[in-house]
Amino acid sequence: MVTGSNTNGIAAGRLDQQDYSENFDDLHPPLSQHEAMVAADRCYFCYDAPCAEACPTTIDIPLFIRQIATGNPIGSAETIFSQNILGGMCARVCPVETLCEEVCVREEAEGKPVKIGELQRYATDMAMAQGRQFFVRGPSTGKKIAVVGAGPAGLACAHRLAIYGHQVRIYDAREKSGGLNEYGIAAYKSVDNFAAREVEYVTSIGGIDIEHNKALGSDISLEGLSGEFDAVFLGIGLGATGDLGIDGEDSAGVDDAIDFIETLRQAEEYSAIPIGRKVVVIGGGMTAVDAAVQARLLGAQDVSICYRRGKGQMAASEYEQDLAASNGVTIRHWLQPGKIIAEGGKVSGIEFEYTAFDNDRLKGTGETTIIPADQVFKAIGQKLDIAKLEGSGLKTNSGRIAIDENGQTSNPKVWAGGDCAEGGDDLTVSAVAMGRDAAENINLKLATGA
């Protein structure tokens, strides 16, 4: 959890309660019916729609928008959910600006794409509010599948398997289901406990049981699951943020950005969360942006994101970078951390070294600068906890579980998908696609005995 106290500039309750409510309100309020109809009317309904090609879950985007335009939002939701059962959350957190909306013909022609993400939310929210279910559990096959991880990949896999009549048991290490949708995204991107409501919607098909506080490698083993179940799907995500590997990293006030975001997501009162006056976030991805923006929303006066490469190399999209800037976050490029400066065991600043490319290789220039800070968040990427797989015999590649084109691992009874698997790209929508597709292959293998 986030560390710190008033003595090193970190304090709770920096703002009035009304400020917290306004700051953490819905980033993109839902469209009204009139707004949805106007937005849908801008779609050209392209036959060879580039937007659908850009969607990892291959939703038929022109069709679902046409259904909204013709007054059939419930049918639109069915179109969306048939490909992406977590379409509601994806409508909130997908980087549409680098996926479907980036290739929208309206974007190419006018610089203003159709509001695909907001229209998707309009349809899926309406269906969920009405309790509309579009899928029924098939006749029981007598087959049992274990899914490890109740995040996007695991939930998508479980839902598709339930449609085929298989019995699914999900094991999750946390107290709540949802994975990063519950614990790891900015609070202003998903309000009103939506992640939990979506889990309830997904599992209401039946045939899916969830056991919480069951961690792979300690409470359950892959060997045990393989012996008890007909197939196993791993959607365990990634572990903690890596270390910076610099002096002073263990100083008070140096924290993991993922832990900070989790604290925010689970907080009953934002006013109880301590934040520094001068905050530095190290990293260049969406986690860095989420941490930095929320530090500002909690009342931090000076927030900087420091990244070792240039603007164009940041993993965070240009939209996310602009969002940070519009919230008063300063993004500093070409800086790599050298050491944490501490006073009395508490962080007071960071020494950075300027960087530059030398023959396509990033190197330090030898020139340094010090940025004052009373709180530092590390957002330099997560890694797979290999210890969880100890004794499993599963092959890994580039730090993730190796899989084939169907999601099958080196163990013929085990599949994997999402961030933990080779090809995972840290996006909810990609995890959903990998979980769904793995379920299709699991069903095929169980049906044919191959």
The whole-number pLDDT of residue 5 equals: 40
Q: Which tens digits make up the pLDDT trace of 304-327?
A: 999 999 999 999 999 999 999 999
Could you give the 3-state DSSP secondary structure of residue 416? strand
SS3 241: strand
Is-above-0.85 flag for pTM?
yes
Mean pLDDT, rounded, for 67-91: 98
Distance, CA of 5 to CA of 297 (rounded, Å): 19
Give ∠ CA 21-197-239 in degrees, rounded to 5.
85
Query: Across the chain, what does the average pLDDT equal?
Result: 95
Which residue from 265, 152, 144 is spatially nearest to 202, judged by alpha carbons? 152
How do residues 162-180 score in pLDDT, each as one tens digit? Answer: 999 999 999 999 999 999 9
The CA distance from 341 to 355, in Å, is 20
User: For the ranges 21-35, 180-194, 281-295, 388-402, which has the lowest average pLDDT?
Assistant: 388-402
At a CB cut-off of 8 Å and minimum separation 6, what does 42 contact? 106, 114
Residues above pLDDT 90, as percent of the chain: 92
Q: SS3 helix, strand, coil % of the chain, rounded to 5?
A: 40, 20, 40
Whole-Å CA distances, 366 to 47, 218, 307, 311, 363: 55, 45, 16, 21, 9
Over residues 87-133, the pLDDT tens digits come to 999 999 999 999 999 999 999 999 999 999 999 999 999 999 999 99
- Which whole number is the average pLDDT over 128-156? 97
Q: Which residue has the tokens 């990244």?
A: 307
How confident is the model at residue 2, as a pLDDT?
Answer: 44
Residue 63, pLDDT > 80, answer: yes
Q: Is 325 exposed, middle or buried (0-12, 13-18, 19+ CB in 10 A)?
A: middle
* 376-394 tens-digit pLDDT: 999 998 999 888 888 788 9
**Per residue in 195-247, pLDDT tens?**
999 999 999 999 999 999 999 999 999 999 999 999 999 999 998 778 899 99
Per-residue pLDDT reduced to its tens digit, 7-20: 458 999 999 999 99
For residue 325, give the H/E element and its range. Answer: helix 318-326
Q: Judge whether 113 and 104 are in contact, CB under 8 Å.
A: yes
In one-letter notation, the amino acid at residue 76 is S
pLDDT surpasses 80 at 439: yes
Local confidence band at 4 (pLDDT 50, 70, 90 cut-offs): very low
Judge whether 93 and 179 are in contact, CB under 8 Å: no
Q: How far is CA 352 from CA 243, 332, 363, 364, 369, in A?
A: 16, 11, 13, 10, 5
Report pLDDT for 237: 95
Residue 33 pLDDT class (50, 70, 90 cuts): very high
Question: What is the Cα Rg of the chain in Å?
Answer: 23
pLDDT of 6 over the 50 cut: no
Task: Give 392's contacts (C-beta < 8 A, 6+ positions apart).
Answer: 221, 222, 223, 411, 414
Other CB atoms closer than 10 Å to residue 246's CB: what's the count?
Answer: 15
Residue 1 is predicted with a pLDDT of 42
- Name all domains of the chain by residue range, CATH numbers in brackets: 6-17+241-378 (3.50.50.60), 43-129 (1.10.1060.10), 144-239+383-448 (3.50.50.60)
Both tokens of 54, joined, read 């850009």
